[in-house]
Structure 1
Amino acid sequence: MFQAVIFDMDGVLIDSEPLWHQAEQHILGGLGIDFNKPPLLQSTGLTTATVINHWYQHQPWPTLSPLQVHQQIIDFVASGVANSGEPKKGLLTLLADNKQRQLKMAVATNSPQLLLDTTLERLQIRHYFHALCHLELVKQGKPAPDIYLLAANKLGVKPEHCLVFEDSFAGVSAAKAAGMTVVAIPAEHEWQHSKFAIADYKIRCFSEFDWQQLC
């Protein structure tokens, strides 16, 4: 049924979502952003540019440009990943199992290439992947399906034969829009949220995943 497996990166391959939160709080908060003022934003899964533009539109700051703020956030997260990034529970076992099953694998992330390279180097998992897709390769990031369609094209596999692992609603929406089967791995505080009902399956960690049950 499945010929390929595509992984989101942040919150899926690596537990980097806390770093993104810290970066936003430290850098945007330092510019005077009050995250409790409406319109509020659930930033998980969105591009960094989308998050910055949202707050700049509603609470503009007078000093740095959005592009400069974007680079500061990326550098903050990249430094954290390089120094202390760890693979998500069960990931390495699943990657090895997928390789044994001769499944093609790809990464499809809303992050830029710098963070993708930093993550793969930190976790030492680059050799598992046949295609690497990052935000700079597509016109629109998630929730648009572009990056998942690109990954499928690079793998030479039809979207309906791809299985995707995603932790965010934006990512799940993107993969479903691409016509793929999606396993959601929501953060614990979002586990019960009804929005993840659009996913085909839901697990708490890779250790819960079972190919036999799926097939």
Structure 2
Amino acid sequence: MDKKFAIFDLDGTLVDSMSYWSQLAEEYLHSRGVEQVPNHILEAIKPMTMEESADLFRRTFGLDITSSHMVAEMEHMMDQHYRNDIPLKEGVAAYLEGLHQAGTTMCVASATAEPLVELCLSRLGVRHYFQFLLSCETVGVGKTQPDIYLQAAQRMGCTPAETAVYEDAVYAAATAKKAGFYIVGVYDQDASAHWEELQSLSDETIPSFEEA
């Protein structure tokens, strides 16, 4: 595909952040004095929202703090990672420069809040490649619905059929695919168990940006 327009996911696609999210529960509970976190708790929270996880932590470990306060503290921890630690995936900067040189119009569509996306990509030196940043928070619905992709395409002045969507998550890629977008599946170590499924639904795949 001649990529005139491209929509990029952030977490797991442009940046190596998924491990920070997966380790957040243990990092937070350790800060609250919980030395050992049972594996069954870590498994139980995988499908939960942050609020649900906080409520489980409070009840399980007898923490004298409200769930909403816990959520705020966990969000602050992730804020610091986006501001200071989370790295760009290897090869991403060169890949974006190649698209830029080819005249591709690009944006970011992320579940992460726009201010954090702005801080993270600016720190990593690639913010200037993107015309705008759009979050599910702003759109009001997650990536189980195509709204964020459709709004991004509308703002870029293009149709789904002429727009490439770069995603590492199968469910998000499937959503964009059903809406008529060209899908570029991006490999992420933290989603490796679903790589074959992502490959099967994608129009194109990137096992590594260094090799792309």
TM-score range, shorter chain: 0.7 to 0.9
Deviation by residue 1:23-77 (Cα, 9 ceiling, x = unmatched): 233236759885525984546xxxxxx62244367x3735544443333223212
2:139 is matched with 138
- Stretches of structure 1 lacking an aligned partner (at least 5 in a row): 44-49, 210-215
Deviation by residue 1:98-128 (Cα, 9 ceiling, x = unmatched): 1111110000000112321221221121211
Deviation by residue 1:116-173 (Cα, 9 ceiling, x = unmatched): 1221221121211112101221121122212111111111111111111111123212
- Stretches of structure 2 lacking an aligned partner (at least 5 in a row): none
Distance 2:201 2:46 in 1: 18
Of 178, 198, 202, which residue of structure 2 is paired with 1:199?
A: 202
1:184 is matched with 185
- Distance change (3 Å), C-alpha of 1:88 and 1:160: same
Distance 1:65 1:191 in 2: 35
1:12 is the counterpart of 2:13: yes
1:52 is matched with 50
- Distance change (3 Å), C-alpha of 1:35 and 1:116: farther
1:148 is matched with 149
1:115 is matched with 116
1:61 is the counterpart of 2:58: yes
1:46 is matched with none
Distance 2:70 2:115 in 1: 16
SS in 1 for 2:58: coil
SS in 2 for 1:61: helix
- Distance change (3 Å), C-alpha of 1:163 and 1:67: farther
Distance 1:163 1:65 in 2: 43
State the 1:6 CA deviation.
1.0
Distance 1:199 1:67 in 2: 38
Distance 2:85 2:190 in 1: 23
> What is the TM-score normalised by the length of structure 1?
0.79
SS in 2 for 1:106: strand
- Distance change (3 Å), C-alpha of 1:139 and 1:72: same
- Distance change (3 Å), C-alpha of 1:144 and 1:95: same
Q: How many residues align?
A: 202
> What is the TM-score normalised by the length of structure 2?
0.80
- Distance change (3 Å), C-alpha of 1:81 and 1:190: closer
State the 1:81 CA deviation.
2.8
Runs (4+) of structure 1 exceeding 6 A deviation are none
State the 1:190 CA deviation.
4.0
- Distance change (3 Å), C-alpha of 1:69 and 1:200: farther
- Distance change (3 Å), C-alpha of 1:82 and 1:149: same
